[in-house]
Structure 1
Amino acid sequence: MDDDMDVRELECFLAVVDQGSITRAASVLHLAQPSLSQIIRRLEADLGVELFRRVGRGLVLSPAGEALVGPARQVVRDLHHARQVAEGYRGLERGRVDLAISTSLTASFAAAWVGDFRRRHPGLTVRIIRHDGDSEEIVALLRSGEAELAYGVAPVQRQGIECVHIGEGEIVLALPPGWGTDFPDPVPVALLDGLPMIADQGFGRAYIDSIRDAGAVEPAVVVEVSEPAGLVPLIIAGAGAAFLPMRQALAAGRRGASLRMIEPLTSRPIYAITSAGPLSTPARRFLELSRENLDRWRRAVTTRTDRGMTLLEASIDADNAIEAAYRRLAEKRPLVSGPLA
């Protein structure tokens, strides 16, 4: 196919094919019949072949014309798709996305999502409101317009609210530096009985209560904090162990914490919550990138576990690969694509 061929010529060619005549095609295309005839002749001249043969008052495709139909349709479809994508991202040069994010996700996932979003769309700003996971609070933030997009670890079911499960986050036992030499990986829940623990008032406290109720295992809560973001400094200082989401646990590991998976494997669901109406372009793009970020992480870890690594080894290796990729890209240029291998 000639590189200089105008896609409009292909659209006109396909209109004649579909309508069966120049007259009907011209009417559909809102063109004068002589103008459409001229376009078809120009296309035939560009290709050096006859595309139609006149039979009575109608037109039939020549063999060359029949061969062109499939490729022409594909080119036109691809162009339409490209236009839709471009139109979908129009407005990403400037603007703001207002987010409401659970405190239990802020320290583990939100930083990665916001960083990816800002690297890709530096003209956009992000406003983050933290919520404690209460459904009524989330719904109020969305309905008031204070937030357009919310993330949480529990489903929200209310009229006019859409809630979609977008991924999972494994929970890891993070122990202070020097602890953990007697703990296997994974560590059975039964070995946590009496372990000095730091508990946040959200997931950490709830999980400790659940394992106590399920198996008479009761870690000793020695420190309580209001938000998960305060856990890591206390762990590193030796105040106690804590249950952390994987990404936050890996950050603690880089500071010297000992990490262990828990048996049985423990994870938290992650939900995206919005009002039922359409999202703004920045909010829609943020939601897409947060899902892509979770998917890339899952694929990166799965690739490594398929090679024989444990889940914790795979997560540490994937996290190190991300950190190294970000450092390299920061030295060269802004990140424009995900670094996971």
Structure 2
Amino acid sequence: MRDLETARSVVRTIAGLAGGTLDIVAPTTLAVDPLADLAGAFRRRHPAIDIVIVEPPNAAAVADVVRTGECELGLADVRTHGKAVETLELCRQEVLVVVPRSDRFPQVGPVALGEVARMDLVAVVPLVLAGVGATLLPRSLAEEAARRGAVALVTRPRLVRPVWLMCRRGPLSPAAQAFIEVAREVFARPVAASPEDDEH
């Protein structure tokens, strides 16, 4: 069905990206950063394309959602090796630990990873602000949490995660191809696929 929709999209857009939908799967933190900026840049260039962002049941499911054709593109912080999916590294994000502003947590960094492992970890910033625990976030989101009253600390050693853009091997819709080109331009460096990888 995805291949049929791709063929229809090619026919519809021979003269340009005149319409259609682009489905992208991404975990919440990657949907906020970097996908939000990428989607904005794409929509400014191709306003007739609707973007649908889908949250996977878990981070490991992104590759499966792309592989099966449920979504044409995906963002993940884990590289998937396989003959069915191509992976392109977009960027690397520094990850900070975000803690409540209280005596229970250190207020200056860096914080040793062993100490982070002993913290009560939670999934969302409101729980951090309420003093329930700590969370790990990319720098841009951690700094936003700090503006809301939390404390953002670097770790020792520093945590850095890659961000991968995934697509199925084979023909892509014009919208997906255009999104990949926008992503390359935004991050201002060429990225290469990994055809030699084995199925993961």
Is 2:71 the counterpart of 1:147? yes
For residue 99 of structure 1, report the CA deviation from its aligned partner.
Answer: 0.8
Consecutive unaligned residues in structure 2, runs of 5 or more: 1-12, 190-200
Which of 81, 89, 104 aligns to 1:157? It is 81
Which of 29, 35, 59 aligns to 1:133? It is 59
SS of 1:220 mapped into structure 2: coil
How do residues 1-341 of structure 1 correspond to structure 2 at under 5 angstroms? 90-131=15-56, 132-134=58-60, 137-177=61-101, 182-190=106-114, 192=115, 208=117, 219-221=118-120, 224-225=122-123, 231-295=124-188
Consecutive unaligned residues in structure 1, runs of 5 or more: 1-87, 194-207, 209-218, 226-230, 297-341
Matching residue's letter, 1:232: V
CA separation of 1:125 and 1:176: change in aligned 2, threshold 3 A: same
Matching residue's letter, 1:127: V
Higher relative contact order (CA 8 A, sep 6+): 2
Question: Matches of 1:292 and 1:236 in 2, distance apart?
Answer: 36
Equivalent residue pairs, number: 176
User: Which position in structure 1 is the counterpart of 2:10?
Assistant: none
Question: Matches of 2:155 and 2:122 in 1, distance apart?
Answer: 21
Q: Is the 8 A contact 1:170 1:268 kept in 2?
A: yes
For residue 103 of structure 1, report the CA deviation from its aligned partner.
Answer: 3.8
Q: Is the 8 A contact 2:17 2:46 kept in 1?
A: yes
Q: Is the 8 A contact 1:102 1:153 kept in 2?
A: no
Question: Matches of 1:176 and 1:269 in 2, distance apart?
Answer: 26
Matching residue's letter, 1:121: H
Q: Deviations over 1:18-63 (max 9, x none)?
A: xxxxxxxxxxxxxxxxxxxxxxxxxxxxxxxxxxxxxxxxxxxxxx
Q: Deviations over 1:250-301 (max 9, x none)?
A: 22122122211111111111111111113222112222333444459xxxxx
SS of 1:238 mapped into structure 2: coil
CA separation of 1:185 and 1:158: change in aligned 2, threshold 3 A: same
User: Which position in structure 2 is the counterpart of 1:309?
Assistant: none
In the superposition, the TM-score normalised over structure 1's length comes to: 0.46
Question: Matches of 2:103 and 2:36 in 1, distance apart?
Answer: 28
Question: Matches of 2:15 and 2:130 in 1, distance apart?
Answer: 48
Q: Is the 8 A contact 1:162 1:276 kept in 2?
A: yes
Q: Is the 8 A contact 1:90 1:281 kept in 2?
A: no
Matching residue's letter, 2:180: L
In the superposition, the TM-score normalised over structure 2's length comes to: 0.73
RMSD across aligned positions (CA)? 2.8
